[in-house]
Amino acid sequence: MAHHRHDEFTLLPMVPDFAYDIDHLLDVAHLLKPGTAADLVDNNARVESFLIRFRTLLEFFFSDGSRSTDVRAWEYLDDADDGDALARWKKACPEAHAVFGIDDGWLKQAVSVRIGQASADRLYRMSWPTELMAVGMARVWATFLDELSPRMRAHFEAATRHVVKILPGGQVALGTK
């Protein structure tokens, strides 16, 4: 089933939610540090908080949106000359495995297991490359902003505290307003 495009009356009120997701993800990634056993509960809470936001953004940017209520990044793009915002987004956005170095299906499943499934798979502990994941998601966020119309981009930039830029050499520069 093809995902329908939501109207602006649905999309615009959601802008602060997605801005919160990227802000929270980048803030928590900055707080994650290896620590002592006393820090374990705090660090686990931060990792889980990070993963919740990461999974939301992974779905927003990379999923096909199988439920009618799902909102996806491409819906914020103008149809422009070609009339196909989804095709434009797929062309502009790198594939998840290229951004994160991991298959996105496996990554979604691993995150889901960690944050919300009663599964024996939780026995297999993994070290989350949160810095790599945050920088990768910031790169996708910057690509997304670059694809938006100036009017829509202004909505997103007004709603977020972080400034993300891709430098000429491909590095990601992160800052706050």
* The total number of structural domains that make up the chain: 1
Rounded mean pLDDT of the chain? 81
Residue 71 clears pLDDT 50, i.e. is over it: yes
pLDDT mean over 124-140: 80
Q: What is the mean pLDDT of residues 73-96?
A: 83
Asked, for residue 128, whether it belongs to a domain, the answer is yes
Q: Is residue 31 part of a domain?
A: yes
C-alpha distance from residue 98 to each of 14, 76, 112, 125, 138 (Å):
27, 23, 20, 24, 14
Residue 153 lies in a domain: yes
| pLDDT score recorded for residue 33 | 66
Residue 106 domain flag: yes
The CB density around residue 109, as the number of other CB atoms within 10 Å, is 14
* Confidence check: pLDDT of 76 > 70: yes
Q: Write the CA distances from 72 to 14, 15, 75, integer angstroms.
A: 11, 11, 6
Residue 2 falls within a domain, yes or no? no
In a domain, 133, yes or no: yes
Structure tokens at 4: 């329908």
* Residue 3 domain-assigned (yes or no): no
Candidate ranges 51-65, 94-108, 146-160; pick with highest mean pLDDT: 146-160
122 pLDDT higher than 60? no
What value does the mean pLDDT take over residues 73-100? 82
162, 22 contact by CB (below 8 A)? yes
Confidence of residue 107 (pLDDT cuts 50, 70, 90): confident
Domain with 164, as residue range(s), is 8-176
Q: What is the pLDDT of residue 144?
A: 95
Q: Is 23 within the bounds of a domain?
A: yes
Specify the range with the lowest mean pLDDT, choosing from 83-87, 88-92, 160-164. 83-87
pTM of the predicted protein model: 0.82
